[in-house]
Amino acid sequence: MCGIVGIVGHTPVAPLIVDALKRLEYRGYDSAGVATIEHGELARRRAEGKLVNLERRLKDEPLDGLIGIGHTRWATHGVPNETNAHPHFSNGVAIVHNGIIENFAELRQELIADGYTFSSQTDTEVVAHLIARELAAGAEPVAAAHNALKRLQGAFALAIMFKSDEDLIVGARNGPPLAVGHGEGEMFLGSDAIALAPFTNSITYLEDGDWAVIRRNEISIFDMDGNRVDRKRQQSLGTSFMVDKGNHRHFMEKEIHEQPEVISHTLAHYLDFANGRSKPLDLPFDFAKLDRLAISACGTAYLSGLVGKYWFERFARLPVDIDIASEFRYREMPLSKDSAAIFISQSGETADTLASLRYCRKEGLPIGAIVNVRESTIARESDVTLPTLAGPEIGVASTKAFTCQLSVLAALAIRAAEARGTISAEEEKLLVRQLAEAPRFATQVLKLDQQIEKVARELAHYKHVLYLGRDTNYPLAMEGALKLKEISYIHAEGYAAGELKHGPIALIDENMPVIVIAPHDRIFEKTVSNMQEVAARGGKIILITDRKGAAAASIDTMETIVLPDVPEIIAPIIYALPIQMLAYFTAVFMGTDVDQPRNLAKSVTVE
Ligand code: M6R
């Protein structure tokens, strides 16, 4: 989950590396560092915390080398401080690493016994020492790197630089992504194409087990046995401009406001609004012949899949097994030959989701991936990519990617229903027409910002919050709780409203507000009963409902947020907005780092 960069250039590379690291800061922001070769010696600058600290450091003590590697860190082994920040050095070797070296404890003991001393608590430092030991035994730099790589177990993307060769960076990939960028008399290495976008759009993605020898005028790629391999060079779609906040305070706020537009783009990709049909898709399976669908994802993407389950089962009568990817990958779930698998991921790089995909691949299932980053590993390893057209999502809290994932899932469920004959042409037309209304309603909901900000000001005084919902509002309750806890650090839980009396009701008192997500749907009355139970115990209710619901619920609330009356199929998309806004404003009142909350990273490429 760290970001790595390497440049073999012809002008001082440190400023270019920092520029690339800014694009990778979504991967981690605990500390950062750059190393170059200055007058034949390795030199580095490192700083704890955000990249701005490293920039300050470099301003005071610039680096001028023409070759360099850089890193932005999300700590796994060792606290986030300057000593643990990358690059790590050992006797003329500099290294940056993303991932986890699983056998590092054993290697560390071996290296200590050989007289190597460790200056950090990281797993990465063992790699630097392993390579240095190979050099000391007489190996050339490239062979030394290759020999050391063969000793490593676990997940890694590495960039390695040698003080003895100012025209060489070795890159290696086993798990986390790594891309090589081709230039004219200069070459690049980075965690993704976006990091390299200002320098080149001619990219080669390394595959698992690949390692690359990168020189100013040549790139050679090898497999672990040392055989040269051919990897496709492709034009990247990576955007070369730095995505900015526009006139918004935070990326999260901007991304919340982009939703009407990106939902509209995403829906239009899958639905033929003019004819009221879902568009044909080139799928590796036939919905009509499936007996089950397996969906797997993490975090917010998982919760979108959970909403999708309701839709596939309701509209297409297609049973769905949905799992959190970190559970799915080890569960050894028996998969029927007539199933297909769908993986959902904004980044397309989430390690657990990717591992689950590979499990299904091994089991012979056809695979679809709903991803936002079209060049990601998950996209490349699936049989069909089902893109969300959300554009780059920078805020760690997922907002527009979530509603775009919902948009794709709704369209797919309609496609499945049509293929399975579980809805008529008239019903399909109606559902498509209803979905077409989502952007308009989303725009209306954004106008409730003042009321939601007022509620958030109140919410910021509490330590615990409970979210309740039924049916598709149950995953939304969990999404509301996830959003609130990750950016405001207020403890929050999301529950199926019907579960209240099976435990959580014991928590209800005047110190725990209960946010109830309840459009006036066919089970509204049931949720009202749950609200009565809360009210009877002195609980404070914040009700998010529609006009009909507000009129029908004769209950005292702390606040009622009234949304427009919307068709049932778009309710999860529309109700996602107030819960995102509530979390956002609460975090702003709490004074937290909204876009880069503590301990988190945007892309989780380690287990
Ligand atoms: O990139 P992915 O969609 O695979 O990421 C999955 C989760 O890490 C992500 O949704 C996470 O839960 C968000 N920070 C939630 O806002």
HEC string of 38-54 equals ECCEEEEEEEECCHHHH
- Is the CB of 604 within 6 Å of ligand 1? yes
Q: Degrees (nearest 5) of the Cα angle 548, 549, 555?
A: 130
Look at residue 555 in the predicted model and tell me its pLDDT: 85
What value does the mean pLDDT of the chain take?
Answer: 94
**What's 460-472 look like in SS3?**
CCCCEEEEEECCC
CA of 493 to the centre of ligand 1 (A): 17
- Is the CB of 296 within 6 Å of ligand 1? no
The model's pLDDT over 43-78, given as tens digits with 9 standing for 90+, comes to: 999 999 989 999 999 999 999 999 999 999 988 888
Q: CA 187, 190, 192, 195 torsion: positive or negative?
A: negative
pLDDT at 244 over 80: no
Look at residue 192 in the predicted model and tell me its pLDDT: 85
Q: In 10 A of CB 366, how many CB atoms? A: 18
Look at residue 595 in the predicted model and tell me its pLDDT: 93
Residue tagged active-site, from 2, 298, 360, 404: 2
Q: Determine whether 254 is an active site residue.
A: no
CA of 1 to the centre of ligand 1 (A): 12
Look at residue 189 in the predicted model and tell me its pLDDT: 97
pLDDT at 240 over 60: no
Look at residue 141 in the predicted model and tell me its pLDDT: 98
- Is the CB of 259 within 6 Å of ligand 1? no
Phi-psi map region of 118: left, alpha, beta (phi>0 left; psi -120 to 50 alpha): beta
pLDDT at 156 over 60: yes
Which residue, by CA, sits nearest to atom 14 of ligand 1? 397
Q: Determine whether 602 is an active site residue.
A: yes
Judge contact between 216 and 166, C-beta under 8 A.
Answer: no
The model's pLDDT over 344-384, given as tens digits with 9 standing for 90+, comes to: 999 999 999 999 999 999 999 999 999 999 889 999 999 99
pLDDT at 499 over 70: yes
Position 312 confidence tier, pLDDT thresholds 50, 70, 90: very high
pLDDT at 241 over 70: no
Ligand 1 atom nearest the C-alpha of 378 is 4
The closest alpha carbon to 161, from 91, 209, 114, belongs to: 91
Judge contact between 482 and 527, C-beta under 8 A.
Answer: no
Q: Which two tokens stand for residue 109?
A: 């003991």
Q: Whole-angstrom Cα distance, residue 416 to residue 315? A: 8
Q: State the average pLDDT over residues 221-226.
A: 96
The model's pLDDT over 1-15, given as tens digits with 9 standing for 90+, comes to: 789 999 999 999 999
Q: Degrees (nearest 5) of the Cα angle 84, 89, 90?
A: 125
Q: Which of 295, 323, 328, 347 to mutate to test the pocket of ligand 1 (most atoms within 8 A of CB)?
A: 347
Task: Tell me the one-letter amino acid at 514.
Answer: V
Look at residue 332 in the predicted model and tell me its pLDDT: 83
CA of 252 to the centre of ligand 1 (A): 14
Q: State the average pLDDT over residues 88-105.
A: 94
**Contacting residues for 465 by C-beta, under 8 A, at least 6 apart:** 459, 481, 484, 490, 491, 492, 493, 512, 513, 514, 515
pLDDT at 235 over 90: no
Position 327 confidence tier, pLDDT thresholds 50, 70, 90: very high
Determine the CATH number of domain 446-592: 3.40.50.10490
Q: Which range, of 105-109, 400-404, 598-602, averages the lowest pLDDT?
A: 598-602
Q: State the average pLDDT over residues 516-538.
A: 91
Q: State the average pLDDT over residues 273-298.
A: 95
**Contacting residues for 55 by C-beta, under 8 A, at least 6 apart:** 18
pLDDT at 238 over 80: no
The model's pLDDT over 19-46, given as tens digits with 9 standing for 90+, comes to: 999 988 878 788 999 999 999 999 999 9
pLDDT at 455 over 80: yes
CA of 403 to the centre of ligand 1 (A): 13
Q: Which two tokens stand for residue 319?
A: 């049973």
Q: Whole-angstrom Cα distance, residue 573 to residue 263? A: 9
CA of 100 to the centre of ligand 1 (A): 20
Residue ranges, CATH 3.40.50.10490, the chain: 248-436, 446-592
pLDDT at 321 over 90: yes
Residue ranges, CATH 3.60.20.10, the chain: 3-240
pTM for this model (two decimals): 0.81
- Tell me if the domain spanning 248-436 has CATH number 3.40.50.10490: yes
CA of 601 to the centre of ligand 1 (A): 9
- Is the CB of 397 within 6 Å of ligand 1? yes
- Is the CB of 301 within 6 Å of ligand 1? yes
- Tell me if the domain spanning 3-240 has CATH number 3.60.20.10: yes
Judge contact between 414 and 428, C-beta under 8 A.
Answer: yes
Look at residue 237 in the predicted model and tell me its pLDDT: 63
Residue tagged active-site, from 254, 400, 540, 602: 602
Q: Which two tokens stand for residue 282?
A: 């080139």
Judge contact between 381 and 373, C-beta under 8 A.
Answer: no
